[in-house]
Amino acid sequence: MTAAPQYGIIGHPLGHTMSPALHNWALARAGLPGAYQAFPVEPGALPAFMARARALPLAGLSVTIPHKVAVMALLDGVSARARRTGAVNTVYWDNGRLLGENTDVPGFLAPLRALGAVPGCALVLGAGGAARAVLAGLAELGVARVLVCARSLPKAEPLAAEFAAAALPWDQRASARADLVVNTTPLGMRGAGQDQSPWPDDAPLGPGQVAYDLVYNPRRTVFLARASATGARIVDGLEMFLHQGLEQFRLWTGQTFDLPGARALVGGLLEQA
């Protein structure tokens, strides 16, 4: 008898990740065997963990902070998209090879594509790991003008250069007149920074502009609430989370899951969190 496939997420610290709930629900709904669990892996323990993952073998892995870059060297190959992004968030098997993909990129793009028009100018707030996926996505979408704005200009500048974007000092972010403003900072996240917005109050976003927050807990951040109140369209971080998870599930199982059902499941869990 062959063992049921095991999937999981590696990161440190893992906190309250919603990925086990999402993927276990999706496996059960599809009638597929296997289970998905959280594997807290400290940075120094990554090579040993990946050796074990090969030996077991684990059928698929989600990868989060701080392993998205380091895991690339421990795989048999990575996709062109993951290489362009400079990070892997998904590990899967293909013909006996352990490969890396970045599903944050299509996850970020899916709700934007659903809005229809390609923004002429996009402003990315923050210059960390998630900003990489956003910048790779904006390049795939063909956005003509992209600006990267972070509280540390020395971090924004090389990242912007890597993606043919321009860097902007943090205190000039409201001057950009962007069609799309994407928050990739943790400002607004449940906890100490929940009442904060990365966007200044005195420069409200309005009709014709889109505010997109990668933060998904809470779903309605201060940034999104204010942007919606002043007439901008909004996209919450749960959409990216669900779509990146959908692409992972497809890579691991060849199947999709029901997005409205997944939205209700994870949305409900976030309300209880």
- Can you give the binding site for ligand NAP, defined by CB under 6 A? 65, 104, 107, 126-131, 150-152, 155, 184-187, 189, 214-216, 237, 240-241, 244
**Cα–Cα distance between 24 and 79 in angstroms, integer?**
26
Q: Which of 68, 81, 132, 173 is catalytic?
A: 68
Q: In the bound complex, what is the minimum distance in angstroms from residue 1's beta carbon to ligand NAP? A: 36
Closest CB to ligand NAP among residues 152, 175: 152
| Token pair belonging to 9 | 């997420």
| Token pair belonging to 86 | 């400079």
Please name the helix (run of DSSP H) or strand (run of DSSP E) that holds residue 147, with its range, or none: strand 145-150
Q: In the bound complex, what is the minimum distance in angstroms from residue 2's beta carbon to ligand NAP? A: 32
* Three-state secondary-structure class, residue 210: strand
Closest CB to ligand NAP among residues 167, 189: 189
Give the burial string for 157-186 (b: 16+ CB within 10 Å, else e): bebbeebebebbeeeebbebebbbbbbbbb
Q: Catalytic residue at 155?
A: no
Closest CB to ligand NAP among residues 189, 232: 189
Sequence-separated (6 or more) residues with CB below 8 Å from residue 194: 188, 218, 221, 222
Which residue minimizes CB distance to ligand NAP?
128
What does the DSSP 8-state code read for residue 207?
A: T
Q: Which of 89, 91, 35 is nearest to 67 (CA)?
A: 89
Closest CB to ligand NAP among residues 116, 154: 154
Closest CB to ligand NAP among residues 129, 137: 129
Q: In the bound complex, what is the minimum distance in angstroms from residue 33's beta carbon to ligand NAP? A: 27
Q: In the bound complex, what is the minimum distance in angstroms from residue 193's beta carbon to ligand NAP? A: 6
Q: In the bound complex, what is the minimum distance in angstroms from residue 210's beta carbon to ligand NAP? A: 15
**Cα–Cα distance between 240 and 169 in angstroms, integer?**
27
Closest CB to ligand NAP among residues 78, 150: 150
**Cα–Cα distance between 239 and 106 in angstroms, integer?**
11
Angle at 107 between CA 104 and CA 110, to 5 degrees: 150
Q: Are 123 and 178 in contact (CB under 8 A)?
A: yes
Q: In the bound complex, what is the minimum distance in angstroms from residue 203's beta carbon to ligand NAP? A: 16
**Cα–Cα distance between 127 and 157 in angstroms, integer?**
9
Q: Which of 73, 34, 78, 38 is nearest to 57 (CA)?
A: 34
Catalytic residues: 68
